[in-house]
Structure 1
Amino acid sequence: MESAMAVELSPWVEYEFRVVASNAIGTGDPSTPSRKVRTKEAVPAVAPSNVSGGNGRRHELVISWEPVSEEFQNGEGFGYIVAFRANGTRGWKEKMVTSADATMYKYRDETFPPLTAFEVKLGVYNNKGDGPFSKVVIIHSAEGEPREAPSDVKAYSISSSEIRVTWKLSNPGPGKPRGYEVSYWKEAEQEESGEKRRTVKNETAMVLTGLEGNSVYLITVKGFNSIGQGPASAAVTAKTRKSPPAQPPSNLMWIQEGNNISLSWDPVKAKDNESDVIGYMVLLKQEGRGHIQVTRTINPSTMLSLPEGGTYIIEVHALSEGGEGAFSSQIRVVTSSGVRAKSSQCSLHCPTWSLTWTVLILVLLVPSASW
Structure 2
Amino acid sequence: MHLIHGLTGESVTLRIVYLWKLNDSFIVPRSGSRYALTGGNLRISHLNKEEDVGIYQCLATNSFGTIVSREASLHIAYLENFKTQSRSPVRVREGQGVVLLCGPPPHSGELTFTWIFNEYPTFVMQNTRRFVSQKTGNLYIAMVEPSDVGNYTCVVTNTVTKSSIQGPPTPLVLRVDGVMGEYEPKIEIQLPDVIPVAKSSTVKLECFALGNPVPTISWRRVDGVAVGRKVDVNKASGVLEIPYFQQEDAGLYECVAENSKGRNSVKGKLSFYAPPHLIEEPQDAQKPIDDTLVWECKASAKPKSSYRWLKNGEPLDTMEDRVQVNNGVLTISSLKLADIGMYQCVAENKHGRVFTNTELRVIAVAPDFSQNMLKPQTLARQGGDVLIECRPKMSPHGMISWRKGKEALRESHRYDGNLRIANVTKMDVGLYTCVARNQFGVASSAGSLLVKETTVITSPAGHLDVTVGESIVLPCQVSHDPTLDLKFTWFFNEQLIHFGNHGGYFEKVGGRSAGDIMIRNIQLRHAGKYTCAVQTKVDSVSIATDVVVRGAPGPPVDFQVTEMTDSTASLSWGAGPDNHSPVHTHNIQARTTFSLGWQGVITVPELLGGKQLTATVIDLSPWVEYEFRVLATNAIGTGEPSKPSKKARTKDMRMYYICPT
Determine if the TM-score, normalized by the shorter chain, exceeds 0.5.
Answer: no
**Higher share in strand:** 2
Structure ranking higher on relative contact order (CA contacts 8 Å, 6+ apart): 1
Question: Which of 1 and 2 has greater Rg?
Answer: 2
TM-score under structure 1 length normalisation: 0.39
